Structure 1
């Protein structure tokens, strides 16, 4: 089965400084490979009109998704969207924030339909209420899950 992420409303190329964060520029976002934070799938600029990723995964008989981009930690299975950027006075970009698309929050009926049709789709906005990159656990209604045909 294909897992497809369709993101919109990206925050731009700058993340504002905060009390414990110096800010970041040249922001990009990508899907992180399982247990390999440096391996990123198709980084997209933070000011893109939209961003899309697609990759193969499997669904176990118990309804769990598995694959090279599906993480499995305490709290359940998820996909990391990793935000990269350069901090002031740094030349190399590094990860500064991540969002977790929580796969346990996919409604069972949607997962069943996705297995039948061939693709599970996550649609979400990537800008938080403060105008910065989304981070932390992402669950409905912040993400909409649906079934579709593979792309």
Structure 2
């Protein structure tokens, strides 16, 4: 009886670990799919999501789409540069390069915020501001859960 119990416990733990491995490979597949999405498709998806959440007018929708398209094209350019450099140099970026990239990213976010403020009404902009922190909070909670699971393995 004890042997059956030990075997059953072993099978359940192995099954649980196998399922976690599948989830991780799925994340890699998603990131590869994101790389294949064109900037225009990204702009379409993001502007439609904002339209649903903020109830944008047709004119606002077009302006937001153009703004997101501009941002997506810039991000694609940086991604291609990074991938080209990745093949040449497999080292991590230096502190100066890292700080430069972070400053550039933050400057883009500030500029995006300013442009969105001109496009959206006061109520819509307030709702837009509320949307961002939630995403980061959820992401932080997911990362904590993920780190706990990694530690347990």
Bigger radius of gyration? 2
- Give the TM-score range, shorter chain: under 0.3
Higher helix share: 2
- Determine which structure has greater relative contact order: mean sequence separation of CA pairs < 8 Å that are 6+ residues apart, divided by chain length: 1
Higher strand share: 1
The normalised TM-score by structure 2 is: 0.24
